[in-house]
Chains A and B, each alone.
Chain A
């Protein structure tokens, strides 16, 4: 097997919040995360708001400086590169955002916005730039005649296509997709998901797909990594994680996904309380304050579990083997 395209080892990102008169607590947004993304593969990074998933995406691209850990991209160590080398590398690693409107300059035509990267990296000159922009717009399903229009003239779905064209303009091999379909209407969401999958098949792209919706993830991802309070709690092939989750948090996330089919209502696991603050995470297993596992005990609040193979996934739960299987069809089962 060839080496993975992206290898993330023990990534740490802490924020030092500032109080009025003294330093505030350290916010452990990302606290020791390791994963890899293969060539042509989609890894979904899943979790709720505040779990650190977007911070992982941004730190991997060094849009934010890490506190610790290392990232290897195609054999190069991202965190030790100088400015010029980093700029060259950025041509191959791009990002698309949840809200394409706020990431597009309102005074720049979309043709110019897409051409920007091509010009900065000198991938084409003169007329060839225009030609390339037209091809890109066509590729993402937009009429090249729109080149002279401004972002506000487009719908949310079209703007996301512009964002994708802009990212693809520099011929990257790796894309961080940060909640790219969360703000879109369902019918448009499906269009964009299909587009991302087609582009991957055509160009052999690798995606780090950051999302909170497990149904979307099932559609697009080969593997899944579930994050909770700055750490990975479970990871594995998509079908394994979704069909036999071994971490209670993964089960709760799964049970909370609303399924548009009354005949397939899963067991409802309603978690108590909110996600704790990453400035003051619980001791031991960070999930123990909300955990419903019947074997939860003193060990859970004392000792942090590590990711280890359980059944067909890697899960960080002391008692992952004996976690009851989820009831996939709960019509006749009383809610827990």
Chain B
């Protein structure tokens, strides 16, 4: 498989006190064509900033540091002029956010908003844009789509609004859809609907999806590959089945032990001690060291991504044969 998007040594910085802090600090990843890649992390891990950087949407005074690389096929995103960048946003990479209400304009109908996106990227008539909007609403499973085109966002439920957001993101047939916590604000039964739709659309259109979430549960059984983020870095990467069978980084192990289960014996949860550090105070050496039950002498040095087995890496010295 060929990589659709490739990120190398991405660093995002924000002013902090007299200096700067690096909430994203050396992230390298690639997304293959047709792949569903999950980026998992707790709040403050840097997962959302990583995805915003892919579209150069980091809000000032934050900035992408020199030395970072983001390539979409033949395009070098970081050196694009504004016009080409606008064509990439929406047309090549679509985005869906957690809270559809704040991403939709309250004073325009849903139909107008979808059509606006289509007409911004394709030379089509109003009528054609409307027909496409209708087809999209049908595709994302909105009942009675013709009348829904004339609805305003506030007239719809959270689940319906999120479907509209997906329809808008799909309108320009992007190669990559970035979904940032797309179901976090929704009820579980609605969450299940939205995840099914995303998965079905990906398969049908051969689109790649980057799913950003804090919930390991929605990753299992859906994603092809998982990246676990902690304190601005990717600490573990593995194919999904493998990650759940053999979580290797102590942070991933800790996360999985923290999640209550519906099956298996009911035992006391074993949470990770302490709290997630903030970007202005990343610990030295291995960033998980202060909370890690398996920390040892070498953890005082920052570990690079080390191979656990082919396709499975982690930023932990335990991956070294002599570390075990």
Contacts and interface: CB of A to CB of B under 8 A. Distances in A.
Interface of A: 48-49, 155-158, 185-191, 193-194, 197, 212-216, 218-219, 242, 252-266, 268, 270-271, 273-275, 328
Contacts, number: 130
B107 interface: no
Given A193-B260, A214-B262, A257-B188, A274 B271 contact: no
Interface in B22-71: 42-43
A158 B274 CA distance: 10
B43 A185 contact: yes
A215 B221 contact: no
A208 B187 CA distance: 20
Interface in B258-304: 258-264, 266, 268-272, 275-276
B38 to A, nearest CB: 11
A187 B258 contact: yes
Contacts of B160: 274
B187 A215 contact: no
B256 to A, nearest CB: 6
Contacts of B191: 256, 258
Given A188-B275, A260-B220, A260-B259, A271 B189 contact: yes
Contact of A255 (B157, B192, B245, B272): B192
B269 A253 contact: no
Given A157-B275, A214-B262, A260-B220, A274 B42 contact: no
Given A187-B276, A258-B218, 18 more contacts: A156-B43, A185-B42, A190-B269, A193-B269, A212-B187, A218-B261, A219-B260, A242-B262, A255-B192, A256-B188, A256-B191, A260-B256, A260-B259, A260-B261, A261-B263, A262-B220, A262-B221, A264-B263
Nearest 6 pairs of A and B residues by beta carbon: A258-B217, A190-B271, A190-B258, A48-B187, A190-B269, A260-B216
A185 B258 CA distance: 10
A235 B172 CA distance: 47
* Chain B interface size, under 10 / 10 to 19 / 20 to 34 / 35 or more: 35 or more
Contacts of B214: 185-186
A185 B159 CA distance: 23
Nearest to B262: A215
Given A185-B42, A213-B188, A219-B260, A265 B193 contact: no
B148 to A, nearest CB: 13
A274 B190 contact: yes
Contacts of A255: 192
B240 interface: yes
A257 B187 contact: no
A49 B196 contact: no
A15 B188 CA distance: 26
A224 B157 CA distance: 27
B219 interface: yes
B260 A261 contact: no
B255 interface: yes
A260 B244 contact: yes
Contacts of A197: 268
B177 to A, nearest CB: 19
A265 B271 contact: no
A273 B143 contact: yes
A94 B117 CA distance: 50
Contact of A260 (B42, B217, B254): B217
Contact of B196 (A187, A264, A270): A270
Residue from the set B159, B244, B245, B254 with the largest chain A CB neighbour count within 10 Å: B244
Contacts of B260: 190, 193, 213, 215-216, 218-219
B192 A270 contact: yes
A161 B244 CA distance: 31
Given A157-B275, A242-B262, A265 B188 contact: no
Contacts of B216: 186, 260
B9 interface: no
Nearest to B242: A262
A313 B258 CA distance: 29
B192 A259 contact: no
A271 B263 contact: no
A191 to B, nearest CB: 4
A262 B241 contact: yes
B269 A194 contact: yes
Contact of A48 (B189, B217, B241, B257): B189
A285 B143 CA distance: 22
B271 A257 contact: no
Given A257-B188, A260-B244, A270-B192, A187 B220 contact: no
Interface in B86-141: none
B215 interface: yes
Nearest to A260: B216
